[in-house]
Amino acid sequence: MIAILEQGLLLALAAMGVYISFRLVDLPDLTPDGSYIVGGAVAVVLLRSGHGWVSATLLAALAAGAAGFITASISTRFRIHTLLASIMVMTGLYSVAIRIMNAPNLPIPRFSTEKILSYEQVVGKTPLDDILGGVGNLQYESQGMKAVTVPFNNRADGHDLILIASLLLLISFLFWLFLRTELGTMLRGYGRNRFAVKVLGVNPNLFALMGLTVANFLVGLSGALFSMYSGFADVNMGTGMVVVCLASVILGEIIFGSREVAYGLFFPIVGAVVYQILLTLAMKYGYRIGFKPSDMKLLTAMFVVSVIAARRLKKSEVTV
C-alpha cells in the first residue's frame, strides 16, 4: 500500500500541473506528455554527470517549465490554439529527450560499477576475438560508473512516502499562498474571463505564459522524481500522461463535488492517489476478466470520455 501511495503522490505533482493548465487557466495543453520525459531525462543525465539530486531535480523542472513557456509563446505570439501548439512542442520534445539522454533510455546507477571488470578487461579481448581468432586490444578502459545518490530507498518503509508527501505539501502550500496574492487571484480570474483582465490594463498573454510554465514545471518535477524513484528515464514514459492526469483531476472533482477546497488544489492530489489505487486493483484483479496491464491506458481514456459525456448529458459545465 505504501508503494501505491508513493506512486500516487508522485503522479499528483504532474496532475497538479495538468489541473493548472486545463482548469485554472483553462488552456488545454498536451505538452506534459513531452515535458514529463524532459524532466526525467534532464534529471538522470545530471545525476550521472555528478550533480546532486536537489539541483538535478530543480534544473529538470526548469527545463520542463521552459517547454511550457515555448508552448504558450507559440500560442500567444502566432495565435495558434494551445492544443495545436502543444502537440507541436510535445512531438519535438520526444527528439529533444533522446538528444539529452543520447539514447532512448538511461538507467541511474544505484551502486558503483567502477571496480567491476568486464570480460574484455579481464581477458584482454572480446568473445568475438576468440571466435574469429583476432588479436585483442589490451587498452580496454573501465566502463564502470560511480554510484548516484537519490533520495529514495524503494524499501516501502515510509521513508519515501514521507519525503514525497512533504514535498507535495510544501509545493501545494506555496502555490495556495501564491493564488491568494493579487497576481495569483488575477491568474485564477484569467481562467474564466480573459477580457476582464484586458480591461484592467493587463496583457492577458502574460497569464498564459505564467500558467503553462508553472504547469509544466510541476510536470517536469514529477518526471524527475519518478525517474529517481524508478531508477531510469525512458523516452516513452510520458505517453498518455495528460490523459492519466486528467483522469486524476476528474476523479478528484467527483470526490469533492462542489466543494472547492484550497482553490481546487486538492482535486489532483486526492484524485491521483485514488487513480493509482484503482489502477493497482485493476491490474491485480483485472486479469480475471481478461484485462492486461497494457489495457490500462485504454481504460483511462474511456473513463475520461465517459465522465465528460455524462456531464454533457447532464448539461453541466465542462471546460475540457
Partner 1 sequence: MIELERVTVIYNRGTLDEKVALKNVDLLVEEGQFVVIVGANGAGKSTLMKVVVGEVKPTFGVCRIMGQVLKEEKIFKCGSIVCQDPNLGIFPNLSIEENLMLARKKGFRGLSFGRVDPKAIELLRSCELGLEENLKKRASKLSGGQKQALAMVMAVSSNPKLLLLDEHTASLDPKSTEKIMELTDRINKTLGTTILMITHDMSIAEQYGDTVIVMEDGRIVARIDKSKQKVQASQLKSMIKSKLTATT
Q: For binding to partner 1 (CB under 8 A), which residues are involved? A: 178, 180-186, 188-189, 191-193, 195-196, 198-203, 206
Q: In the complex, what is the shortest distance from the CB of residue 92 to partner 1, in angstroms, rounded to a whole number? A: 31
Give the three-state DSSP class for 217.
Answer: helix
**Comparison of 116 and 196: residue with beta carbon closer to partner 1:** 196
Helix residue spans in 193-319 (DSSP H):
194-199, 205-230, 241-256, 266-285, 296-313
Would you say the C-alpha torsion 75, 79, 82, 84 has a positive or negative sign? Answer: negative
Of 192 and 297, nearer to partner 1 (C-beta) is 192
The per-residue b/e assignment along 80-100, b for 16 or more CB within 10 angstroms, e otherwise, is eebeebbbbbbeebbebbeeb
Taking the least distance from each CB to partner 1, the nearer of 81 and 192 is: 192
Smallest gap from residue 183 Cβ to partner 1 (A): 5
Closest approach, Cβ 196 to partner 1, in A, equals: 6
Residue whose CB is less far from partner 1, 27 or 37 = 27
Instruction: State the minimum distance, in angstroms, from the CB of residue 186 to partner 1.
Output: 5
34 in Cβ contact with 94 (< 8 Å): yes
Question: Which C-beta is closer to partner 1: that of 190 or that of 229?
Answer: 190
- φ/ψ of 198, rounded to 5, equals -65, -40
Distance CA 61, CA 225 (A): 10
Q: Where are the beta strands (DSSP E) in 123-242?
A: 232-234
Distances (CA, A) of 254 to 54, 100, 162, 307: 35, 39, 26, 9
How far is the first Cα of the chain from the last one, in angstroms, to the nearest whole number? 32
If the CB atoms of residues 24 and 100 are measured against partner 1, the closer one turns out to be: 24
Question: If we measure between CA atoms, which residue out of 106, 45, 46 comes closest to residue 231?
Answer: 106
Least CB distance from residue 200 to partner 1, whole Å?
A: 6
Q: Tell me whether residue 78 or residue 195 sits nearer to partner 1 (CB atom).
A: 195
Shortest distance (Å) from residue 314 CB to partner 1: 18
The number of residues making up the chain comes to: 320
In the complex, least distance from residue 214 CB atom to partner 1, rounded to whole angstroms: 14
**Alpha-carbon distance 320 to 275, whole Å?**
19
